[in-house]
Amino acid sequence: MLNMTHVSRVYRTDTVETHALRDFSLYVDEGEFVAVTGPSGSGKTTFLNIAGLLEDLTSGTYELDGRDVSGLSDNERSKIRNEKIGFIFQTFNLIPDLNVFDNVDVPLRYRNMSASERRKRITEALEIVGLTSRMTHLPAQLSGGQQQRVAIARALAGSPRFLLADEPTGNLDSEMASQVLDLLEDVNRTGTTIIMVTHEAGLATRARRNIHVLDGRIQPEEPEAQADGPPPLTAVQLAGA
């Protein structure tokens, strides 16, 4: 489904070249729940941005659903983001002036969907996250956990092929974080592929596969992580390897 091969991402200024990703190859199969861990600055977010078509890669190839998406136009990338990818952010990224319903509506607005279809999808998505009673609430009237659930509903409303979650529990207390992870697991069980970036090893163990990134490269599995983590933690699948 997602296949990155020898991807690199280099940020250049006049004097400095920063290699955020180096020779990064990864294959994620349909229905997987993959956790990407690593310390700050390791390249996790850069990977997620490239995976979500939010950033260009410098070299290598990136295939999504068998299609090379590395050279697509901005409009084509927007369309793929809109139709195939759902995003969940650490800071929720809800629009404060819009109520819950309208926040979930945002990606659907760019799909030329009828009002009734949009309403149906929004209601269903909010049912999944248990927030149908809060449709008219503004984000500021919700707790952090509820806001993240709205963000998940927004990501789910478009029926994406996969979810990209960037530290989805980073701003939540442990109880709420657990609820959000439960929700992500539920979503994954319905067949939606999830790639979750986190720097918390504990959370990563909830995923079915754990990838550790350091200095822009995927690291071999750590034995202790294997020991601590519950099965089925699988080996990193390097594309083409």
Partner 1 sequence: MFAYHVRLALLSLKKNPALTALIIGAFALGIGVCMTTLTVYYQMSNNPIVHKNDVLYAVALDSWDPVEPYDDDQPEQAPWELTWRDMMALRQSDIPTHHAAMFKGSFVVEPESDDVLPFEETVRMTDGGFFSLFDIPFQYGAPWDTTADENGEYVVVLSREMNEKLFGGQNSVGRTLLLDKLSFTVTGVIDNWNPAPKYYDVNNGAFDNAEQMFMPLTVAFPLERFSDGNTNCWKDEDINDYQAFLNSECVWFQYWAQLDAPEQKARYQDFLDAYVMEQKQLGRFERPLNNRLTPVDEWLQVRQVVADDSKVLLGVSFMFLAVCLFNTVGLLLAKFIGKSGEIGLRRALGASRTAVFGQQLVEVGVIGVAGGLLGLGLAVLGLRAVRKIYIGLDQLVDLTSIDVSMVLAALGISIAASVLAGLYPAWRVCRVSPASYLKTQ
Q: Which two tokens stand for residue 119?
A: 């309403």
Q: Which is nearer to partner 1, 35 or 53 (CB)?
A: 53
Q: How far is the CB of 226 from partner 1 (least distance, A)?
A: 31
How far does the chain reach from its first CA to its final CA, in angstroms? 16
Q: Which stretch binds partner 1 (CB under 8 A): 31-39, 57-65, 104-112, 130-138?
A: 104-112
According to the binding rule CB under 8 A, does residue 117 interact with partner 1? Answer: no
> Among 181, 224, 188, 187, which Cα is nearest to 204's?
181
Tokens linked to 148? 């993240």
Decide if 195 contacts 36 (C-beta within 8 A): yes
Name the residue nearer to partner 1 (CB basis): 172 or 233: 172
Among 29, 30, 65, 97, binds partner 1 (CB under 8 A): 97
Question: Which residues in the 37-56 window bind partner 1 by CB under 8 A?
Answer: 45, 49, 52, 54-55
Q: Which is nearer to partner 1, 106 or 236 (CB)?
A: 106
Amino acid at 79: K
Helix axes 174-189, 144-157, angle to 10 degrees: 20
Using the rule CB under 8 A, which residue among 11, 68, 95, 143 binds partner 1?
95
Going by C-beta distance under 8 Å and a sequence separation of 6 or more, which residues neighbour residue 157?
104, 105, 107, 108, 121, 122, 124, 125
Question: Which among 109, 117, 114, 177 has a CA at the least distance from the CA of 143?
Answer: 177
Give yes or no for residue 116 binding partner 1 (CB under 8 A). Answer: no
Residue with Cβ nearer partner 1 (87 or 162): 87
Q: Read out DSSP for 120-176?
A: HHHHHHHHHTT-GGGTT--GGGS-HHHHHHHHHHHHHHT--SEEEEESTTTTS-HHH
Among the residue ranges 70-78, 140-148, 190-198, 211-219, the one whose residues contact partner 1 (CB under 8 A): 70-78
* 67 lines the binding site for partner 1 (CB under 8 A): no
Residue with smaller CB distance to partner 1, 18 or 91: 91
Q: Name the residues that contact partner 1, by CB under 8 A.
A: 45, 49, 52, 54-55, 74-75, 78-79, 81-83, 87, 89-91, 93, 95, 97-98, 106-107, 109-111, 154, 158, 166
